[in-house]
């Protein structure tokens, strides 16, 4: 009998591993040796105030607690109504502080007792028409207020003032750098870094004691102007 042999071929998968050569070390960065000129610049910007905030105080004293509270409430309500009659919106009038406290006294035997009660109500008024500032103060005092705690002028839109101050600070730094570079016989090639520091816009405050004199005369108020200061520190790259 003839035997038949079948040959079976088994495919062998050959895996080719490709190797990629990597650099043994990163290329060293070249140190920048160009000279640096550090300059500080200062810039200011001014704006006319368009808003005033007045804090009005009502303080009442009485031997009876209920009387002190009632008198204060009535006077405070009268002031708010009078201020609103000038055209001030109700949302711009609010109580910023309220206190009720007993007043103590000590007799010859060192015994402490309540002598009476003091009630204080502070009302903050935002005035958006600056022509009304003097009238608000006069009207409040004539309606029973016995304190003008503060008067501040500010502006509602600070961004344009801040932007102008920062631009002026940069221009100041650039002008100084140009002068120094020219004196050194160098040219400004670029900027390495910039640091900026800008404060808040100035708020003009009036002395409260001066404002209290308004009860006997019409109060003249000069709004003046507000200012904002900006500082920059710039490092300029110079030619060698």
Of all helices (H) and strands (E), which one includes residue 186? none
Asked if residues 187 and 239 have their Cβ atoms less than 8 Å apart, the reply is yes
**Count of the separate structural domains present in the chain:** 2
Does some domain include residue 129? Answer: yes
Q: What is the pLDDT of residue 86?
A: 96
If asked whether residues 58 and 145 sit together in one domain, one would say: yes
Residue 72: what are its φ and ψ, rounded to 5°? -65, -45
C-alpha 88/C-alpha 82 separation (Å) is: 9
Q: What is the pLDDT of residue 41?
A: 97
If asked whether residues 104 and 143 sit together in one domain, one would say: yes
Structure tokens at 33: 């040796």
Q: What is the pLDDT of residue 24?
A: 46
Last residue within a domain, chosen from 95, 126, 154 = 154
By residue range, what is the domain housing residue 180?
A: 36-47+159-200+231-238
Does some domain include residue 179? Answer: yes
Last residue within a domain, chosen from 154, 174, 189 = 154
* Averaged pLDDT in 10-residue chunks for the chain of 240 residues: 45 42 47 88 94 95 95 96 96 94 89 93 96 93 93 92 96 97 95 93 72 59 86 95
C-alpha 177/C-alpha 196 separation (Å) is: 16
Asked if residues 37 and 234 have their Cβ atoms less than 8 Å apart, the reply is no
Q: What is the pLDDT of residue 5?
A: 43
């Amino acid at each position: 009998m003839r035997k038949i042999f079948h040959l079976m071929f088994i495919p062998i998968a050959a895996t080719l591993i490709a190797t990629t050569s990597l650099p043994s070390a990163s290329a060293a960065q070249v140190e920048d040796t160009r000279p640096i000129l550090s300059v500080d610049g200062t810039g200011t910007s001014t704006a006319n105030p368009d808003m005033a905030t007045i804090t009005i105080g009502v303080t009442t004293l009485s031997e009876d607690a209920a009387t002190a509270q009632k008198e204060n409430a009535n006077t405070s309500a009268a002031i708010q109504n009078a201020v609103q009659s000038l055209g001030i919106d109700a949302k711009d009038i609010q109580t910023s502080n309220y206190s009720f406290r007993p007043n103590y006294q000590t007799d010859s035997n060192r015994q402490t007792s309540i002598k009476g009660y003091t009630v204080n109500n502070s009302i903050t008024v935002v005035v958006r028409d600056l022509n009304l500032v003097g009238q608000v103060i006069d009207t409040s005092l004539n309606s029973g207020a016995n304190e003008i705690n503060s008067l501040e002028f500010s502006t509602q839109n600070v961004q344009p003032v801040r932007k102008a101050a920062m631009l002026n600070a940069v221009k100041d730094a650039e002008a100084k750098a140009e002068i120094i570079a020219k004196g050194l016989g160098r040219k400004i090639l670029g900027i390495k870094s910039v640091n900026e520091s800008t404060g808040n816009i100035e708020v003009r405050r009036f002395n409260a004691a001066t404002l209290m004199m308004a009860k006997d005369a019409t109060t003249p108020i000069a709004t003046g102007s507000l200012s904002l200061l900006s500082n920059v520190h710039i490092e300029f790259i110079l030619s060698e």
